[in-house]
């Protein structure tokens, strides 16, 4: 029964009456030094007595018989013998008085001199001022325990010594036993602003922390509109937040003598104990003096955190969600026990941020605490790397939902297929099942319902399910064409390499690239070879049937003109294509100065050589011709100044030798050593391998450069070749530094010209948002990486899938999928999406039977946009948002905020769109102003490691 608590000397007592026959309310009266509570049974005595002598006679007359008293106090259902029940009140009675009462009632004489008089518990108290119990009292020796009903009987019959408080104690349920809590927990209450004067208060172990907070608020005279929270001082002197106010004193492990500090949120939305990361608009003004438009508040960039700032600004400008936090409705719904949640910490951290931004006292705030909290629960956001605003938004919505989930214990729900049932029935069942496990303000605001239809291509089995969604990730129409930049190297030594910009099919092959280049150069595609050049060597030489997906936009692609190499019949000359590297010798100091290092430089070359001319001498002169644009021919004197050493074989020629003495007749496996600088590089096409049986030896005259076979990385091949006939020989041109300086024109070698096609820009026509939504709802075939298991075929199938909108949320978040990631390519789609600011009508895309009486449930108005500028590797996020109070659009660029017009909102940078349903907007406008916060039981959310300075 609810009663008014009485407080005596720091002790908190409540009068309770569990017996309906005994009134717990009534006038207090005194007689003979006793204070008794009037009852129906003793009403006549209460009206008749005025003194101790006069009081006894009418009181005894009003009492039941002695046997009846004994039965009611000792043996009845309301007597001492009844079992304990958790949470009920029992009262302490001094042992000597109770024994005297027992003697009196057992004597059977109501006029006996053994009459005990009024109840006197003086021996149980340490003093007569604070009325604190003595320490170490023992039941049965110092006191007896009586249930509430028995206590009230005795008080009504005999009265209570004037000035003494009743000693009420609760029954607590400990892990293994129930007991009467004789000694409650005595706490020292302090206010954060004044740590000098403690307020002592006693609480039962079963009292909630909410009661402790309420008591502190009452003691310190805190206004109902002000927010407060509690801290507990630990044994090491540090402070820890008491976040969950719904737990008991026992669960919170509070002990007698512990210090509890209450702090009050300031007008600017911050807490006195929190570190202040506030950027003031003017150093000459205090934050409390600054008054701006609530919500028009920037967020400082902590280092690549613009993605987080953009997502927060969008979410902060969702009217109903912000009002939910500003009005403290979240406090009663914090879920500290959800294993899928973040112990309420994400919700509290976000609430702190919203309250500061909408206090009107800041022009910019630093979201340091929130950033730390996000990194603690989502390791992918640790550090200060750039991330995706939509990914953070997804995490934040999920975290807020679980922290505010009204479902404390999730039940198991089995997902059921439609199995031919009507859509209305299946959809309603799916939504009810969803709400049985997920019920929060996030679900109320952002969740809608999909209809998903899967069709097996083999058996035709149709599976229909209804799934909830929090946002729509819609694709953008992608052009089937792709622009690629390449360098074309002609066989004509007089022509510089040409840069070309080619339009090719996105899913095309290397042959398509050659065909596109052929239109510009007139050279037949079969006379082209495509290679990826990296670090002066060939990363890969492509086959014509290779996919273009393997080529990234950042790759340096060279297309070389080669001679016609097809043909194996008699009389048809077969050409060999040799990869050529350029290397320069550099002296390396070792113990005898005999070793020369070799360093790659310049662009490599693919050279066509007739197989019947494959001699060192012929190759040397062919290379002189091909390099003649930037390699000067030496004079005859330079050429004859040679070294005539060396042994010449009969006929004046020998085989073309490798650097280690092997011959090209014995091609063998290549080995890329660790010094090559390239890992996992692909080799040249195997079908280009020559295979001459005898290559004449070079003449021993001095030449501009020397030639030798190397592996694909450009390092000397030190292995003996195996006779497999499939190895591609790579030839290196080695230059002495002095000869290179004299005859090699480096500037000319690196020069190239731009073809007129380089100036071509692929125009991207803008698309409407509705087109993207249509594309989202079209039928698609599942990818090989994500097949569907058909319950009819009992195997995974590449089924067709179709998504339809069934139910739309109050706030519709539309994520434009601008970033495309595949196995071989990554790109950002920089197309302009035209989206309406007002009256986005989605009725034609919702397949649920519609009601003509309320068309506004399908119409939306834009309230916020998250923008992304830049490319894949780097970029910047900003926000356009409409203030819920003023209706003015603002541009949020981290800490900078400026007003804009609606015409400026639409841009190619739009990435995530926030739309509000029109019927919801009308409902919010019609509601009275609820901006004033209600009385909070608790609030706030610093990290668990946050400490509080109370000095």
Q: Can you say how many angstroms the Cα of residue 310 is from the centroid of all Cα atoms in its chain?
A: 14
Q: How far apart are CA 137 and CA 167, in angstroms?
A: 13
CA distances to 58, 114, 904 from 49, in Å: 7, 21, 88
- Average pLDDT in the 917-936 region? 69
- Chain mean position to CA 756: 47
Interval 292-301: pLDDT, tens: 899 999 999 9
Answer with the residue of higher pLDDT: 191 or 720: 191
**What ranges make up the beta strands (E) of 81-133?**
89-94
63-77, 156-170, 508-522, 926-940: the lowest-pLDDT one? 926-940
DSSP 753-798: EE-GGGG-------EEHHHHHHHHTS-EEPPTTS-EEETTTTEEE-
Whether pLDDT at 676 is above 60: no
Q: What is the pLDDT of residues 504-528, one digit of tens each?
A: 988 889 999 999 999 889 899 988 9
Task: Pull the structure tokens for residue 746.
Answer: 């480096």
3 state SS of 451: strand
Distance of alpha carbon 356 from alpha carbon 269, whole angstroms? 4
pLDDT of the residue at 565: 57
Query: Measured between alpha carbons, how far is 7 from 229 in angstroms, rounded to an integer?
Result: 24
The residue that leads in pLDDT, 311 or 637, is: 311
Q: Which tens digits make up the pLDDT trace of 594-641?
A: 446 788 999 999 988 887 777 888 888 889 889 989 888 776 655 544
pLDDT at 291: 82
pLDDT attached to residue 329: 93
pLDDT tens per residue across span 313-335: 999 999 999 999 999 999 999 99
CB-based contacts of 764: which residues, under 8 Å, 6+ apart? 479, 830, 831, 832
Q: Report pLDDT for 727.
A: 57
Contact between 713 and 675 (Cβ < 8 Å): no
Rounded to whole angstroms, the Cα distance separating 519 from 525 reads: 9
Q: What pLDDT, in 10s, does the model give residues 222-272?
A: 888 888 999 998 888 888 888 888 888 888 889 888 999 999 998 888 888
Per-residue pLDDT, 635: 67
Query: What pLDDT sits at residue 932?
Result: 43
Sign of the Cα pseudo-torsion (365, 368, 369, 375, in order)? positive
- Distance from the Cα of residue 593 to its chain's centroid: 60
What is the pLDDT confidence band of residue 728, given thresholds at 50, 70 and 90?
low
Q: Checking DSSP bridges between strand 753-754 and strand 498-505, what pairing results, if any?
A: parallel
User: Against a cut of 0.75, is the pTM above it?
Assistant: no
In angstroms, the CA 310 to CA 388 distance is: 10
**More confidently predicted of 573 and 800:** 800
pLDDT of res. 245: 87
Alpha-carbon distances of 500 from 351, 497, 605, rounded to whole Å: 55, 10, 18
Q: Is the pLDDT of residue 870 over 60?
A: yes
Name the range with the highest mean pLDDT among 5-14, 174-183, 194-203, 310-319.
Answer: 310-319
Q: Which of 931, 907, 911, 922 is nearest to 867 (CA)?
A: 911
Of 19 and 629, the structure prediction assigns the larger pLDDT to 629
Instruction: Tell me the per-residue pLDDT of 413-433, one tens digit each, with 9 for 90 and over.
Output: 887 777 888 989 999 999 999
- Cβ pair 656, 695 in contact under 8 A: yes
User: Average pLDDT of 8-34?
Assistant: 35
Question: Phi/psi at 324 (nearest 5 deg)?
Answer: -60, -40
Q: Give the model's pLDDT for residue 320.
A: 96
pLDDT at 658 over 50: no
Which pLDDT score is estimated for 589?
55
876 is catalytic: yes
Provide the Cα torsion 564, 569, 572, 575; round to 10°. Answer: 50
The whole-angstrom separation of Cα 583 and Cα 537 is 10
Residue 452 near residue 466 (C-beta atoms within 8 A): yes
- Residue/partner pairs of 923-928 with CB below 8 Å, 24 or more apart: 924/319, 924/320, 924/323
Helix, coil or strand: residue 531: strand
Virtual torsion, Cα 153, 158, 160, 166, nearest 10 deg = -20
> Quick check: 875 and 866 in contact, CB under 8 A?
no
**Percent of the chain residues topping a pLDDT of 90:** 38
Report the largest interatomic distance among the alpha carbons of the chain, rounded to a whole angstrom: 154
The per-residue DSSP string of 277-297 comes to -EE-S-TTS-TTT----TT--
Helix (H, G, I), strand (E, B) or coil at 613: helix
| Per-residue model confidence as pLDDT tens digits over 361-414 | 999 999 999 999 999 999 999 888 889 999 999 999 999 999 999 998 888 888
Mean pLDDT computed over 576-596: 73
Given a cut of 60, whether residue 942 has pLDDT beyond it is: no
Take residue 202 and report the two structure tokens written for it. Answer: 């006693």
Residue 655 pLDDT exceeds 80: no
Q: Find, among 300, 368, 373, 384, the residue nearest to 342 by Cα.
A: 373
> In percent, how much of the chain has pLDDT > 70?
77
Cα torsion at 935, 938, 941, 947 (round to 10°)?
Answer: 120
Query: Among residues 246, 434, 520, 876, which one is catalytic?
Result: 876
Nearest to 374 by CA among 356, 405, 354, 347: 347
Q: What is the pLDDT of residue 638?
A: 56
Closest CA to 208 of 219, 216, 196: 216
Q: How many CB atoms lie within 10 A of CB 655?
A: 19
Tell me: the pLDDT tens digits for 94-141?
A: 999 999 999 999 888 878 888 999 999 999 999 888 888 898 899 989
Phi, psi of 911 (to 5 degrees): -125, -50
790: left (phi over 0), alpha (psi -120 to 50) or beta: beta
pLDDT at position 289 = 65
- How many other C-beta atoms are found inside a 10 Å radius of the C-beta of residue 445? 21
Give the residue-averaged pLDDT of 304-314.
Answer: 95
520: annotated active-site residue: no
What is residue 721's predicted lDDT score, i.e. its pLDDT?
A: 35
Contact 291, 248 (CB under 8 A): no
- What is the tens place of the pLDDT at every residue in 765-810? 889 999 999 999 998 888 888 888 888 888 888 889 999 999 999 9
Tally of residues, the chain? 951
Domains of the chain from N-terminus onward: 66-181 (3.30.2230.10), 185-264 (3.10.20.90), 305-475+767-925 (3.90.70.10), 480-588+597-630+703-716+728-763 (3.10.20.90)
What is the H or E stretch that residue 176 is in?
none
pLDDT at 663: 37
The residue from 34, 243, 306, 757 that is catalytic is 306
Q: Answer for the pair 683, 712: CB distance below 8 angstroms, yes or no.
A: yes
Q: Round to whole Å and give the CA distance between 883 and 294.
A: 9
The pLDDT-based confidence of 62 (bands split at 50, 70, 90) is low
Q: At what angle do helices 345-357 and 368-377 cross, to 10 degrees?
A: 160
């Amino acid at each position: 029964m609810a009663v008014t608590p009485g407080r005596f000397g720091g002790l908190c007592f409540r009068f309770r009456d569990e017996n309906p026959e005994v009134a717990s309310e009534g006038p207090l009266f005194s007689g003979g030094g006793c204070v008794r509570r009037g009852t129906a049974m003793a009403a006549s005595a209460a009206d008749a007595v005025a003194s101790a002598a006069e009081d006894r006679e009418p009181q005894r007359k009003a009492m039941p018989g002695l046997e009846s008293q004994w039965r009611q106090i000792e043996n009845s259902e309301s007597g001492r013998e009844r079992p304990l029940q958790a949470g009920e009140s029992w009262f302490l009675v001094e042992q000597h008085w109770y024994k005297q009462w027992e003697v009196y009632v057992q004597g059977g004489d109501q006029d006996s001199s053994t009459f005990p008089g009024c109840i006197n518990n003086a021996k149980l108290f340490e003093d007569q001022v604070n009325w604190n119990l003595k320490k170490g009292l023992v039941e049965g020796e110092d006191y007896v325990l009586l249930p509430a009903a028995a206590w009230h009987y005795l008080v009504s019959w005999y009265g209570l010594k004037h000035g003494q408080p009743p000693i009420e104690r609760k029954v607590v349920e400990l892990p293994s036993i129930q007991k009467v809590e004789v000694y409650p927990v005595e706490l020292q209450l302090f206010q954060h602003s004044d740590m000098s004067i403690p307020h002592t208060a006693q609480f039962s172990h079963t009292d909630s922390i909410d009661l402790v907070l309420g008591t502190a608020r009452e003691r310190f005279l805190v206004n109902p509109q002000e927010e407060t929270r509690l801290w507990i001082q630990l044994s090491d002197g540090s402070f820890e937040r008491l976040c969950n106010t719904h737990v008991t004193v026992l669960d919170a492990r509070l002990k007698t003598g512990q210090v509890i500090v209450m702090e009050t949120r300031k007008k600017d939305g911050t807490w006195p104990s929190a570190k202040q990361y506030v950027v003031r608009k003017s150093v000459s003004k205090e934050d409390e003096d600054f008054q701006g438009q609530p919500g028009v508040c920037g967020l400082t960039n902590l280092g690549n955190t613009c993605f987080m700032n953009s997502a927060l600004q969008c979410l902060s400008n969702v009217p109903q969600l912000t009002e939910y936090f500003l009005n403290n409705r979240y406090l009663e719904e914090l879920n500290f026990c959800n294993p899928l949640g973040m112990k309420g910490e994400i919700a509290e951290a976000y609430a702190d941020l919203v309250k500061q931004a909408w206090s009107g006292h800041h022009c910019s705030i630093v979201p340091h605490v929130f950033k730390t909290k996000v990194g603690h629960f989502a390791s992918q956001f640790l550090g200060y790397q750039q991330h995706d605003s939509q990914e953070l938004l997804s995490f934040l919505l999920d975290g807020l939902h679980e922290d505010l989930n009204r479902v404390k214990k999730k039940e198991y729900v089995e997902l059921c297929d439609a199995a031919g049932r009507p859509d209305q029935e299946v959809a309603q069942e799916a939504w009810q099942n969803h709400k049985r496990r997920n019920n929060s303000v996030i679900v109320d605001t952002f969740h809608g319902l999909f209809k998903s239809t899967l069709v097996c291509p083999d058996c035709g089995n149709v599976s229909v399910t209804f799934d909830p969604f929090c946002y729509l990730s819609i694709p953008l129409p992608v052009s089937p064409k792709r622009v690629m930049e390449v360098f074309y190297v002609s066989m004509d030594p007089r022509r510089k390499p040409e840069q070309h910009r080619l339009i090719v099919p996105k899913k095309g092959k290397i042959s398509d690239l050659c065909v596109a280049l052929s239109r510009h150069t007139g050279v037949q595609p079969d006379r082209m070879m495509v290679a990826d050049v990296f670090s002066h060597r060939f990363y890969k030489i492509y086959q014509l049937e290779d996919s273009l997906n393997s080529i990234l936009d950042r790759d340096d692609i060279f297309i070389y003109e080669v001679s016609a190499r097809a043909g194996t019949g008699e009389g048809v000359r077969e050409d060999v294509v040799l990869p050529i590297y350029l290397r320069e010798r550099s002296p390396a100091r070792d113990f005898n100065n005999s070793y020369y290092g070799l360093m790659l430089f310049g662009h490599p070359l693919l050279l066509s050589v007739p197989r019947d001319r494959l001699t060192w001498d012929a190759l040397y002169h062919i290379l002189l011709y091909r390099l003649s644009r930037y390699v000067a021919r030496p004079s005859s004197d330079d050429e004859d100044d040679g070294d005539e050493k060396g042994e010449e074989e009969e006929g004046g020629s020998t085989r073309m030798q490798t650097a280690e003495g092997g011959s090209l007749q014995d091609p063998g496996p290549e080995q890329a050593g660790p010094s090559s600088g390239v890992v996992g590089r692909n080799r040249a096409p195997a079908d280009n391998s020559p295979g001459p049986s005898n290559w004449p030896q070079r003449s021993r005259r001095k030449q501009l450069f020397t030639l030798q076979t190397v592996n694909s990385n450009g390092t000397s091949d030190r292995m003996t070749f195996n006779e497999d006939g499939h190895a591609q020989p790579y030839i290196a041109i080695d230059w002495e530094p002095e000869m290179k300086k004299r005859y090699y024109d480096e500037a000319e070698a690196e020069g190239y010209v731009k073809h007129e096609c380089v100036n071509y820009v692929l125009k991207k026509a803008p698309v409407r948002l509705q087109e993207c939504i249509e594309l989202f709802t079209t039928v698609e075939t599942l990818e090989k990486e994500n097949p569907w298991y058909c319950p009819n075929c009992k195997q995974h199938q590449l089924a067709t899938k179709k998504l339809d909108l069934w139910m739309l949320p109050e706030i519709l978040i539309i994520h434009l999928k601008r970033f495309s990631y595949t196995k071989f390519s990554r790109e950002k789609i920089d197309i302009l999406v035209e989206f309406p600011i007002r009256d986005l009508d989605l009725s034609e895309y919702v397949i649920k039977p519609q009601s003509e009486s309320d068309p506004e449930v399908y119409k939306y108005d834009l309230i916020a946009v998250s923008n992304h500028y830049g490319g894949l590797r780097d970029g910047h996020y900003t926000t356009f948002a409409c203030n819920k109070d003023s209706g003015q659009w603002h541009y949020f660029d981290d800490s900078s905020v400026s007003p804009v017009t609606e015409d400026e909102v639409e841009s190619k940078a739009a990435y995530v769109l926030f739309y509000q349903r029109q019927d919801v907007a009308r409902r919010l406008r019609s509601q009275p102003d609820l901006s004033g916060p209600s009385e909070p039981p608790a609030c706030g959310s610093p990290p668990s490691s946050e400490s509080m300075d109370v000095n």
